[in-house]
Structure 1
Amino acid sequence: MAELNETTFWISGIINGEYRECDGPYTTTKNMTDKGYPYVLKTPNPNFTHQKYDYIAHEWVDTSSEALLHTVEDVQKAVTELKSNSQSNTQSNNELDKKLDKLTTLVTMSNVQTGKLMQKVQDLKKQAQPATQPTETTQTITTANEGGNN
């Protein structure tokens, strides 16, 4: 005679149009390993008074009001930190913008001065060159008529 193996499972999710967080345990002689949502073979956490199964993390999650309160507190703390970081970044960005504006102004002024200096250098080069006229080599070509008649 074949021995029947019993499988214990819980229901966490929607079944027959009804939501159940952690309903069970149930036992069956059917193989439940290939079943999935909303059937859970993992034993619920005995430390949680209310829980549901997280199918992504594959673990039971505490859904008690105390756990939700801690979650809300954690979210509030994270929001406060983000606001603080955002304000700090805004202040840092404002300071950085001011520094960049100063730097841009200095670079622009430097470019203007460089342009003026380059013009002066060009003017000095022109003054330093001797005033020479371009010389043309002229050859006088004289044709002598030898013998008198062409």
Structure 2
Amino acid sequence: MAEETNTLPMWKQKADKLNELLKENPDVGKQVVYRSRMGIQDDPVCVPLLVSEELAHDEYPDVVEEPPATMINPKFNWYGDNKDWFENSTQEQGIEIAALKENIKTVTKSVDDLKENDKTTSDNAQKQDQKMDQLIKLVAMTNMQVGKIMQAQALAKTTEQPQEGGNK
């Protein structure tokens, strides 16, 4: 267990000790909170503390929710709509940036593949449109020829038929 504790970040080790103390002796406090101040560079980024009154929600500079245990140097973002913990360790940020770069490469390749597929689909659609135009023209020409033939047959029938009523 001692080896496992040494691999945890300092803030997590302190938080675990305070939580154990709180379980063993509830009179020492009501809750463990995590103090995180924005914009103050000299402050430790995340400091677990015992408080005497339980907090239902975050109250600057104290955060109720524990940061993810995977964070080395967590800091709380108090600004804007996205209030949450973020990694403040430059080493961890470097790892995250490398992973993001890899994701960007993957997304860029996917976008390029989609563009190529779209171009192929567009070319195929254009060829289909040309074939459809040719087919429509052919059907129109066929209809015109059939119309002429039917008109010629109708004219021939009217000229071949004797007129009624002339020889009674």
Question: Is 1:81 paired with 2:106?
Answer: yes
Q: Find the partner of 1:103 among 104, 128, 144.
A: 128
Partner in structure 2 of residue 13 of structure 1: 37
Q: Which runs of 5+ in 1 are unaligned?
A: 139-150
Judged with a 3 Å threshold, the aligned counterparts in structure 2 of structure 1 residues 21 and 113 are, in CA distance, closer, same or farther, namely farther
Q: TM-score, normalised by structure 2?
A: 0.61
Which moves more between the two structures, 21-30 or 107-116? 21-30
Q: How does 1:25-104 map to 2 (within 5 A)?
A: 25-43=48-66, 48-53=71-76, 61-104=86-129
Judged with a 3 Å threshold, the aligned counterparts in structure 2 of structure 1 residues 34 and 86 are, in CA distance, closer, same or farther, namely closer
Residue 125 of structure 1: how far off its partner (Å): 0.6
Which moves more between the two structures, 104-113 or 64-73? 64-73
Q: Find the partner of 2:45 among 9, 22, 37.
A: 22
8 Å CA contact 2:46, 2:75 repeated in 1: no
Question: Is 1:131 paired with 2:162?
Answer: no
Residue 129 of structure 2 aligns with an amino acid whose one-letter code is T
| SS class of match (2:129) | helix
1:75-106 C-alpha deviation (Å, 9 max, x unpaired): 11111111111111111111111111111111
8 Å CA contact 1:10, 1:24 repeated in 2: yes
- Higher helix share goes to which structure? 2
Percent identity reads: 12
CA RMSD of aligned residues (A): 3.5
- Higher strand share goes to which structure? 1
Judged with a 3 Å threshold, the aligned counterparts in structure 2 of structure 1 residues 115 and 18 are, in CA distance, closer, same or farther, namely same
Judged with a 3 Å threshold, the aligned counterparts in structure 2 of structure 1 residues 82 and 42 are, in CA distance, closer, same or farther, namely closer
Q: TM-score, normalised by structure 1?
A: 0.67
Judged with a 3 Å threshold, the aligned counterparts in structure 2 of structure 1 residues 29 and 117 are, in CA distance, closer, same or farther, namely same
Which moves more between the two structures, 62-71 or 74-83? 62-71
Partner in structure 1 of residue 15 of structure 2: none
Residue 106 of structure 2 aligns with an amino acid whose one-letter code is E
Judged with a 3 Å threshold, the aligned counterparts in structure 2 of structure 1 residues 80 and 111 are, in CA distance, closer, same or farther, namely same
Residue 145 of structure 2 aligns with an amino acid whose one-letter code is K
